[in-house]
Amino acid sequence: MLLGPPGAGKSPFGQYLSRQKIKNRRFLNFDFGQELRQILEVRPEMVNIRSDSRQELQEHYNGQELNRIRQVVEKAILFEESDRELVRKILRNFLHKINPAREDILVLNGLPRHPGQVPWLTGLARIVLAVNLDCPLEISVRRILANLDGERTGRPDDSPEVVSYRYKIYEEKTRPLLAWLERAGIPLINLSVNYMTGPEELLKKISSNEAFNLLFSD
pLDDT, one tens digit per residue, over 92-112 is 999 999 999 888 999 999 999
What is the per-residue pLDDT for 71?
95
- What architecture is the 2-212 domain classified under in CATH? 3-Layer(aba) Sandwich (3.40)
Compute the average pLDDT of residues 158-169.
79
Residue 115: asked if its preceding bond is cis (omega within 30°), the reply is: no
pLDDT by residue (tens digit) across 16-51?
999 998 888 899 999 999 999 999 986 544 444 444
What is the per-residue pLDDT for 149?
61
Find the DSSP H helices in the chain.
10-18, 32-41, 52-58, 63-75, 84-98, 137-146, 160-169, 176-184, 199-206, 210-213
What pTM was computed for the model? 0.83
What is the per-residue pLDDT for 150?
57
- Rounded to whole angstroms, the Cα distance separating 44 from 30 reads 22
Sheet of 188-192, strands arranged across: 21-22, 25-31, 105-109, 2-3, 130-134, 188-192
Say if residue 190's pLDDT is above 80. yes
Q: Percentage of the chain with pLDDT > 90? A: 64
pLDDT by residue (tens digit) across 52-67?
444 444 468 999 999 9
